[in-house]
A = this chain, B = another copy of it.
Amino acid sequence: MSPDRPPRVPDDYDPADFVPFAVTVDLAVFTVRDGHLHVLLVERGEEPYRGHWALPGGFVRPRESAGQAARRELAEETGLSPDTVAGLRPEQLRTYSDPDRDPRMRVVSVAYTALLPDLPEPRGGGDAAQARWTRHDTGELGHLAFDHGRILADGRRRIGAKLEYTCLATAFCPPEFTLGELQQVYETVWGVTLDRPNFRRKVLTSPGFVEPVEGPPRRTGGRGKPAALYRAGTATALHPPLLRPEGRPTP
């Protein structure tokens, strides 16, 4: 698997200015489980940071884009089919390029976020050791490898913000879900509690956010009145947005 065209130094720059970089992708994959935000982590099997937890990811191959690499790594790491992963539409977060972020060499990493419905317990299929869902809130995740702690924090802030003005929250839910489940996504990611009737009103009056499923309702856990089921609608943006309480953006 060598590159189709060998890389050449561009001729309109001083060759001394050109350095080969390695380019990787890193994935901040979130899910909501038991009312807590979880993130997919792998345990590193090699130095540096052997034994530390890290975000799943890997090198971009010669003939693929960073987005393709992200989808490939996500499929390898979770054991999900490529089709399923493509439907998750991993979204580019930002690129990390500090010269010293990897002690081995100059590595530039394009980070992605992805949102999974719920606990398809990962089979560690990729390069590293097992992949595991880890609670994001507790101190359970110590110091991550490289600058992955920063990437993870940036990813969490981004998805929190996107919940406000997009319909992204449905990506955390299974194909059919109750409004209670959808509300719990917001409450979990934002770390707040929302008024149930108000949340319901907002969601149902936002055109295209959700659409009702015909047929009998299901009971969530047995307790309480059975809830109606909804599917994700066709809308992608939320106008006006669903602002989080206090008007205080996560810093």
Contact = CB atoms under 8 A, between A and B. Distances in A.
Contacts of A104: 8, 10
A116 to B, nearest CB: 22
A221 interface: no
- Sorting the interface of chain A by its residue count into under 10, 10 to 19, 20 to 34 or 35 or more gives 35 or more
A239 interface: yes
Copies of this chain: 2
A106 B64 CA distance: 10
B247 A64 contact: no
Interface in A23-48: 23, 45-46
Interface in A103-126: 104-106, 108, 110
Given A1-B16, A10-B22, A94 B92 contact: yes
Interface string A1-28: 1110101111111101111111100000
A65 B102 CA distance: 13
Interface stretch (A54-62, A135-143, A195-203): A54-62
* Secondary structure dominating the interface of A: loop
Given A3-B19, A94-B92, A110-B95, A249 B239 contact: yes
Contacts of A13: 58-59, 127
Nearest to A17: B59
Contacts of A21: 7, 20-23, 60, 108
A67 B97 contact: yes
A5 B239 CA distance: 51
A131 interface: no
A215 interface: no
Contacts of A59: 10, 13, 17-18
A97 B63 CA distance: 10
Given A9-B105, A13-B58, A62-B106, 16 more contacts: A1-B16, A3-B106, A5-B106, A7-B105, A7-B106, A8-B105, A10-B104, A11-B46, A18-B59, A21-B22, A63-B99, A165-B165, A239-B247, A239-B248, A240-B243, A241-B243
